[in-house]
A and B are shown apart, each in its own frame.
Chain A
Amino acid sequence: MKRISLFTICFIIFIGSWVFLQFVIGGVISKPIPNSVIGMYMALVLVAILVHVSVEDSRFLEFLRPIHETLVDDKYRVRRLVLVIAIPVLLTGFTYTNLAQKTPPPGDPRDAHPTPPLELKYKDEVIETMQKAQNPYRHYEKDDPEAFKSHVENGRRVYYDNCFYCHGDHLDGQGHFAHGLQPLPANFQDPGIIPNFQESFFFWRISKGGPGLPASGTPWNSAMPVWEDHLTQEEIWDVILFLSDYTGYKYRTFGEGH
């Protein structure tokens, strides 16, 4: 059996790495990887290959042999002709498509986990510090299940009277108005939402809405209303109970690590 040349192996590794990044990691396993990131990884792969082949003189010569042969050996005239046409055509096409590309619209970078203020407020009234504020009805869960249930039911009513237009019947952020909004309404079924925040954080987000976000959260884009204008404190705490009751997720509590 003919041995595969070192050059071919390196070539296969190089192309294989690209296919792996572009289609396997950036397709099957997770979301597509930006081209600039792929470019960085590919540069690393190239450097690694060059280091590997140039460690010893003999290996380097072995690596260069096919290139050398293709360039000068009369046996490879056809291959030479094909490459001399294909390489310039590919590079020219690549340059043209790059230049003809339209500028993409600017992205809207947004901090999805904005930093809350130090104090939790309802309208102008200070409730507690953000860290210490507790849902005043949470303790019923253990102390008085009946009372707890009625708070959750009240939360359900508040949710379907007010929130489901955008956040959806299933609390999945896909209400019937969601398609018209940028950014999309929060999806409470996402395991990264409820478990990552304290109840006080939710109270802050609900009561102050989009306009209450810090600049990093792009308050000018959010259609989340300022709910303290429409709802009582109890209604807000109740809807917070309902969100975790419905989805089964538990809020982060103070003192837990990340």
Chain B
Amino acid sequence: MLRKRIVLLSILLGFTLFISIQVFTQEAPEVSAKGKEVYEESCAHCHGTEGRGDGSAAENLLPKPRDFTRGLYKIRSTESGELPTDQDLFEIITKGMPGSSMPGWETQLKTDERWEVVSYIKTFYDGFKESETPPRQISLKDKIPYSDESVQIGKGLYTDLGCIECHGNVGRGDGTSAPTLTDEWGFRTWPANLAENWNFRGGSDTEDIFKRFIGGIAGSPMPAFEGDSFLHFGLTSEESKRLSVMENKDEMTPDEEEESGKLYEKMDEAVLVALDRVEGTELTPEAQKMYDDAMKIVYEKSWHLANYVKSLSPEKRPETAIGNNVLRSQYMAEDLPILGDEAWDTLQESYYPLVGQVVIEPRQFNPTIDSVRVKSFYNDTEVAFLFTWDDRTHNTEVEENEDTGTSYEDGIAIQFPVKPPKGPTDEKPYFLWGGKKAVYVWQWKASAQDQITELTVKGVNNVTVQEMQGDLSVKGEYNEGQYRLWVKRTLATDDKKDLQLESGVFVPIAFSAWDGANGDNDIKRVISSWYSFVLEPVPSSRRFIYPPIVALLTVGFLFGLRGFVLRRNAVSVETDTEQ
């Protein structure tokens, strides 16, 4: 009897073992020589030959290239704590990660080469081999479409869930904890500026944003909305509202104490279930239902929040201020508007992308300022500019910090040639703060927001503060992760070292900016190339005079022609009859 049982048990065991081996061999990624070859040719210089994210180029990069040996992947279509799917990895390789140094490889590697690399990357982390079940995917089926109402709900959640702590009140990544964040590897990391969605690593579609909420961004401080990281996890919307009301009271009645106590218990229970689930414990049907109900609310709220985040950015990165988008200062007859005047809202912004200064040591390889946007008005005697740029931190002095290093003062410099070039082939000063030919610079620093210094600069190491500081009106402010700087100057000055402005003349303009918290200081900064702007001449009144004249002349010509032909016909008829 016992023998029979043992035999039966052995057969069963053997069968299970056989099946699991089968499963194991099916799931193990194929390590092909091809994948290794492509990886070493195209990926290893950043991600390292061992996949540790320590290739030779990694030193100067931030965000750092992914370390594949820990199985932590930021951009996934899978739930929190899960590995990415092969498709996820394939898509990141194909499309790249905007705002980082990871490019898309669609043009450079063939489809099968990209798949080979996916398989090869997976060999760096044993977890891919060991996982027996496919990763749980995030469901997109109950998407809540974009609407003003949904955006409003999302806006409320944005505050309630504590997003503002990192991403700031209006989403520019300027929350109070923004300067303190590090990733799983101890490298510094900045919360996303939600107003610049072209830099979102995993894409800017509402679905992409939604997936980051449910799945989290593994390895970064961005949490997944599950369990205790989600506000009132496990409560229905009504219960959540009720609890918020009670929590906001100065003192609760005994009844309310009891009611809130029950709600806390309910939340604790739901969090425990979520933890069990993550650990792989099988859930009882009741627990499963509790989890599903809790997650349904999380999903709903995440869609609203995703819609809100989507509303914070323009459709795409604005076009650079060249060609048709060149900055044209608008003429107005009266006094120029001051900072905060509504007149500024009538103008389109001109967008100037800024990139790290990597020409001269010390170089800035990992800029944090994306761009500066400019508007301008002028009248018969003066010109006013409004410069706007996002900076997550407001630094007005040099500060030493053990964890994040030294931070410096924020600032911006606007650079012009001393004289506008006479023609397109006329020599300009060197774009990076001049050289043999000097540039005329307005330098503004965050510590003195209502002052600007006029400089004459002949290269980054040859800066002279002008003796004659002209009569410039300046007003600067920092608000919610954004600097706004208003500058007004007379078109003409008495100083030979100043640029003299005239309507209708295109003038080169370039920018330097400093985010002190990112280590920008002096030569280390973000910069732009030369662009140009013009004080747009008042449209000539000729456009109302010439067209009517043309109309009259054309009509006259047509009638004249007909008259001429008729007369000639008459003459020829006469001569015909005479003959």
**Shortest distance between the CB of B416 and any CB in chain A (Å):** 13
**In the complex, how many residues of chain B place their beta carbon closer than 8 angstroms to a beta carbon of chain A?**
68
**Shortest distance between the CB of A119 and any CB in chain B (Å):** 22
Identify the closest chain B residue to A174 (Cβ): B103
Q: Known: A68-B565, A103-B534, A108-B424. Contact between A179 and B432, CB under 8 A?
A: no
Contacts of B555 in A (CB 8 A): 84, 88
> Which segment of A10-18, A55-63, A160-168 sits at the interface?
A160-168
Contacts of B359 in A (CB 8 A): 209-210, 223-225
B355 touches A170 (CB 8 A): no
Contacts of B496 in A (CB 8 A): none
Contact of A95 among B107, B423, B547 (CB under 8 A): B547
Does A123 belong to the interface (CB within 8 Å)?
Answer: no
> Which segment of A21-29, A45-53, A135-143, A214-222 sits at the interface?
A214-222
Interface size class of chain A, counting residues whose CB lies under 8 Å from the partner chain: 35 or more
A156 to B527, CA, bound (A): 27
**Shortest distance between the CB of A230 and any CB in chain B (Å):** 8
Identify the closest chain B residue to A169 (Cβ): B103
Return the CB mask of B559-574 against A: 1 if under 8 Å, else 0: 1011001100100000
Q: Known: A105-B326, A105-B534, A223-B431. Contact between A92 and B424, CB under 8 A?
A: no
- Which chain B residues (526-579) contact chain A, with CB distance < 8 Å? 527-532, 534, 536-537, 539-540, 542-543, 546-548, 550-551, 554-555, 558-559, 561-562, 565-566, 569
A211 to B435, CA, bound (A): 9
B45 touches A156 (CB 8 A): yes
B530 touches A220 (CB 8 A): yes
- Which chain A residues (176-231) contact chain B, with CB distance < 8 Å? 176-177, 179-182, 209-211, 215, 218-225, 229-230
Contact of A165 among B55, B356, B425, B432 (CB under 8 A): B356
Does B500 belong to the interface (CB within 8 Å)?
Answer: no
Does B177 belong to the interface (CB within 8 Å)?
Answer: no
- Which chain A residues (57-112) contact chain B, with CB distance < 8 Å? 68, 71-72, 80, 83-84, 87-89, 91-93, 95-96, 99-100, 102-109
A88 touches B551 (CB 8 A): yes
- Which chain B residues (429-453) contact chain A, with CB distance < 8 Å? 429-432, 435, 437
Contacts of A181 in B (CB 8 A): 355, 529
Contact of B360 among A168, A218, A225 (CB under 8 A): A225
**Shortest distance between the CB of B75 and any CB in chain A (Å):** 17
Does B230 belong to the interface (CB within 8 Å)?
Answer: no
Identify the closest chain A residue to B559 (Cβ): A84
Contacts of B542 in A (CB 8 A): 99
B430 touches A172 (CB 8 A): no
Does A121 belong to the interface (CB within 8 Å)?
Answer: no
B107 touches A91 (CB 8 A): no
Does B68 belong to the interface (CB within 8 Å)?
Answer: no
Contacts of B107 in A (CB 8 A): 170, 172
Q: Known: A172-B107, A182-B529. Contact between A160 and B539, CB under 8 A?
A: no
Contacts of B530 in A (CB 8 A): 182, 220-221
Contacts of A220 in B (CB 8 A): 427-431, 435, 437, 530
Contacts of B101 in A (CB 8 A): 164-165, 169, 176
Does B122 belong to the interface (CB within 8 Å)?
Answer: no
A224 to B537, CA, bound (A): 35
Q: Most chain-B Cβ atoms within 10 A of its Cβ — which of A103, A105, A160, A177?
A: A105
Contact of B430 among A84, A211, A215 (CB under 8 A): A211
Identify the closest chain A residue to B107 (Cβ): A170
Does A252 belong to the interface (CB within 8 Å)?
Answer: no
A229 to B363, CA, bound (A): 13
Contacts of B430 in A (CB 8 A): 211, 219-220
Contacts of B57 in A (CB 8 A): 160-161, 164
A151 to B57, CA, bound (A): 17
A221 to B527, CA, bound (A): 13
Does B306 belong to the interface (CB within 8 Å)?
Answer: no
Contacts of A156 in B (CB 8 A): 45
- Which chain B residues (42-97) contact chain A, with CB distance < 8 Å? 42, 45-46, 55-57, 59-60
A95 to B537, CA, bound (A): 19
A88 to B423, CA, bound (A): 37
A245 to B359, CA, bound (A): 26
B504 touches A103 (CB 8 A): yes
**Shortest distance between the CB of B44 and any CB in chain A (Å):** 9
A105 touches B322 (CB 8 A): yes
Does A157 belong to the interface (CB within 8 Å)?
Answer: yes
Q: Known: A91-B554, A169-B103. Contact between A99 and B427, CB under 8 A?
A: no
B365 touches A165 (CB 8 A): yes
A83 to B557, CA, bound (A): 12
Contact of B423 among A106, A165, A229 (CB under 8 A): A106
Q: Known: A100-B539, A176-B101. Contact between A87 and B554, CB under 8 A?
A: yes
Contacts of A174 in B (CB 8 A): 103
Does B354 belong to the interface (CB within 8 Å)?
Answer: yes
Identify the closest chain A residue to B563 (Cβ): A71
A96 touches B569 (CB 8 A): no
A158 to B534, CA, bound (A): 41
A182 touches B565 (CB 8 A): no
**Shortest distance between the CB of A247 and any CB in chain B (Å):** 11
Q: Most chain-A Cβ atoms within 10 A of its Cβ — which of B539, B543, B566?
A: B543
A106 touches B569 (CB 8 A): no
**Shortest distance between the CB of B318 and any CB in chain A (Å):** 12
Contacts of B358 in A (CB 8 A): 165-166, 177, 225
Q: Known: A165-B101, A165-B356. Contact between A221 and B326, CB under 8 A?
A: no
Contact of A109 among B425, B506, B527, B540 (CB under 8 A): B425
**Shortest distance between the CB of A78 and any CB in chain B (Å):** 15
A160 touches B45 (CB 8 A): yes
A99 to B543, CA, bound (A): 5
Contacts of B432 in A (CB 8 A): 223
Does B108 belong to the interface (CB within 8 Å)?
Answer: yes
B565 touches A72 (CB 8 A): yes
**Shortest distance between the CB of A102 and any CB in chain B (Å):** 7
A91 touches B504 (CB 8 A): no
Known: A182-B530, A221-B530. 9 other contacts (CB 8 A): A95-B547, A99-B546, A105-B534, A160-B55, A161-B59, A168-B103, A169-B108, A182-B322, A223-B432
A-B contact pairs, 6 of them (CB 8 A): A91-B551, A95-B550, A161-B57, A165-B101, A166-B358, A223-B359
Which residues of A are in contact with B by a Cβ distance under 8 Å? 68, 71-72, 80, 83-84, 87-89, 91-93, 95-96, 99-100, 102-109, 156-157, 160-161, 164-166, 168-170, 172, 174-177, 179-182, 209-211, 215, 218-225, 229-230
